[in-house]
Amino acid sequence: MNPEKQVQSEVGGYISTLMREHFGKGPTSVYVSLNSAFLTVHLRGFLAPMEKVLIKQNEQQRVLKTRDFLMNDIREELMEELKKITGLEIAEIREDWNLNTETGMIIAIVNQPIQEESHIWPEGINKEALINRIEKSSNNVEKVPGETEVFWLSNRTVLIKRSKILVGIEKELIRNGFEEELRIAKRPLERKEFESVKLETVLKRKILESFFDWNFDTDVAYMVLILEPEK
């Protein structure tokens, strides 16, 4: 097994065990992608029996808030263990969950300058057209980002980083302590808007899933797209 595959395997095994210990159930599968700037963990089949009961009772927000509490409790441990496995200093962890599909995404942001190899771009994909559509979507919801960066972590995993996107009303909500409410409101809105700009036509593949999270302190948004396998 080559070193990168070994790291991916170790990260996947660790995450599965961690989720099982703290959430009562581990994912049925884990897919890890990484480069020198980011590490993503795509969880599938991740919904505990008690969570299923709560969802049947329309208590989705309760499930999400409980997951937030648990993730906050294990965040430092997770960052430290990922550093041990990968040798990379982790600056922060972001996450998003899709309860309907029983999937989730954990994003680890590496604490070092982004290296040139992180910007490797696949042939046949128009970078300018993709960024233009991303920025059009952002402008429809908030404003054009101060900077938009796209990273291909694997053949099927695309990470989009947008900086300086918050508008005045959002900043005021954050100052008044409504971060979580803003995050809950923004996710479905941004997901719907990104679907409307048809990124798939530029990517030339179907987007199977999308995940969103924000660092409101630094005014940075992260989005991860999971693409269908190439035919």
Q: Identify the CA nearest to 157 among candidates 38, 27, 22, 45.
A: 38
**Does the structure show a pLDDT above 70 at 6?**
yes
Contact 138, 150 (CB under 8 A): no
Average pLDDT over residues 165-182: 94
137 Cβ contact list (under 8 Å, min separation 6): 190, 193, 194, 196, 197
149 Cβ contact list (under 8 Å, min separation 6): 114, 160, 161, 162
Mean pLDDT of the chain, nearest integer:
92
Residue 122 confidence class, pLDDT cut points 50, 70, 90: confident
Q: How far apart are CA 73 and CA 65, in angstroms?
A: 12
Average pLDDT over residues 85-107: 96
pLDDT given for residue 75 in this prediction: 95
The pLDDT tens digits of the residues spanning 39-79 come to 999 999 999 999 999 999 999 999 999 999 999 999 999 99
Contact 182, 221 (CB under 8 A): no
Q: Say which residue, 3 or 173, is predicted with more confidence.
A: 173
pLDDT given for residue 82 in this prediction: 95
**Does the structure show a pLDDT above 90 at 19?**
yes
Contact 141, 190 (CB under 8 A): yes
Order of strands across the sheet that contains 38-44: 29-34, 38-44, 103-110, 90-98
pLDDT given for residue 133 in this prediction: 95
Domain spans of the chain?
A: 3-110, 121-227
Q: Identify the CA nearest to 51 among candidates 24, 15, 19.
A: 24
* Ranges 3-7, 123-127, 223-227: which has the least confidence: 3-7
Q: How far apart are CA 229 and CA 231, in angstroms?
A: 6
3-state SS, residue 19: helix
Average pLDDT over residues 20-49: 94
Retrieve residue 160's tokens: 């989009």
Contact 38, 120 (CB under 8 A): no
pLDDT given for residue 142 in this prediction: 87
